[in-house]
Amino acid sequence: MYLPASGGSTRWGHVTSALLSFFRDPASAGVGVDLGFFPVRLEDVPDSCTSDDACGEGAPCLSKICLNALVELDLFAPCQTDTNCEYGTGLPPTCRTIGDCSTAPESYCFTESPDSCDGSCTQSGICSRFVSCRADAYAEPAVALSVLPEAQPELARALQGHKHGEDTTTAPALSAAIDRARAWSADHPDHEVVVVLALGGLPTACFEENATREQAVAELAALAADGANDGVKSHVIGVFSELEIGDGARESLDGVAEAGGTVQAVVIDAATNVSTAVAAALAEIRGLQRGCEFRVPELDDVDQVNVVIRSNAGTKIIPRVRDAAACDGAQGGWHYDVDPASGDPKRIALCATSCVDLRIAQGASVELELGCASRTLE
């Protein structure tokens, strides 16, 4: 996210600007937001090491890394020979031995490269990770789920005060976000809950040693699929350079989005107007998820449910119709996914007209009211 983008800003700067705009947008009123960041940095990881034990959770201690992956991808990739360093970078695959520089103890050098240190370079090692790969480290969001516009000031403070990291620990962060969304959805079956994953790079940490990019992305796709199976869809927004897009970033993220039930990712060229493009993607997700389908809560009587749309224009009770074929083009309506006379309904769906009304209404939200006879279409 810290990499440069258009207008002299960074990818992180543009995403932050788009999120702040989304939070301030009157059309976001009624939207609940849970905000989490990654990576989470580990404490007390030494600058250099001679053993795995010295690194603790940051193990293993790497004696050799791929110089090309470090320079171009900011990735500590272990290696034994140059052949282990095929990362599709502009620089040639180059495996180098890590050392401590006598004249710059806070940095490291490479024993095969005399120009990497003004003094002597003594072989040592570097811990492979300075960030946590445990999902429970990402369990607590920076801002717990809160409703806009009241939540806007706290969300803005969290964004503006966040110090972004360099590693992309996507898997544990996505896992934790889906877990939070899954729990909220179970407790609030009348709400549509989704995860929005915003990335400024493909995963660079928290996957198996020597894993390929395809394997790292497949792990993300599996997490997204598990969430989708439980009714939590994952939307994916990525900001990449033209080179990264040409190298398959779009296809990689499309696989995660498809597994997460949202067909394809929104991939934005970092050289374009990134803030505007991210804001448009968020607005589109908001419109799509202004729910037109809802889980059926525990009911005492399936005939005592009313669907109510509340918006800046007022309150409207949506009439119930028999099924999708009975939807009225003018008055809209709602129906169960299964006729209660023949089975147990799991979902409530709005007819197309009512769905459009919901999505275009300012400050709209939906409530399921129980206990009174369903209003039906006359």
**What is the residue whose two structure tokens read 């520089």?**
101
Distance from C-alpha of 92 to C-alpha of 77, rounded to nearest angstrom: 14
CATH superfamily of 6-41+141-289: von Willebrand factor, type A domain (3.40.50.410)
Distance from C-alpha of 220 to C-alpha of 18, rounded to nearest angstrom: 24
| Per-residue pLDDT at 297 | 81
| Per-residue pLDDT at 170 | 95
Mean pLDDT calculated for residue range 308-337: 90
Residue 164 has pLDDT above 70, yes or no: no
| Per-residue pLDDT at 268 | 96
Looking at this protein, which amino acid is placed at residue 29?
Answer: A
Mean pLDDT calculated for residue range 8-21: 92
For 305-365, give the DSSP string.
EEEEEEETTEEEEEPB-SSGGG-BTTTB-EEESS-TTTS---EEEE-HHHHHHHHHSTT-E
Mean pLDDT calculated for residue range 142-170: 90
| Per-residue pLDDT at 242 | 92
Residue 88 has pLDDT above 80, yes or no: no
Torsion region of 134: left, alpha or beta (phi above 0 gives left; psi -120 to 50 gives alpha)? beta
pLDDT tens for residues 213-244?
Answer: 889 999 999 999 999 999 899 999 999 999 99
| Delimiting residues of CATH 3.40.50.410 domain(s) in the chain | 6-41+141-289
| Per-residue pLDDT at 94 | 95
Mean pLDDT calculated for residue range 91-98: 95
| Per-residue pLDDT at 29 | 85
Query: What whole-number percentage of the chain has pLDDT above 90?
Result: 57
| Per-residue pLDDT at 330 | 86
Residue 4 has pLDDT above 70, yes or no: no
| Per-residue pLDDT at 73 | 78
Mean pLDDT calculated for residue range 367-378: 89
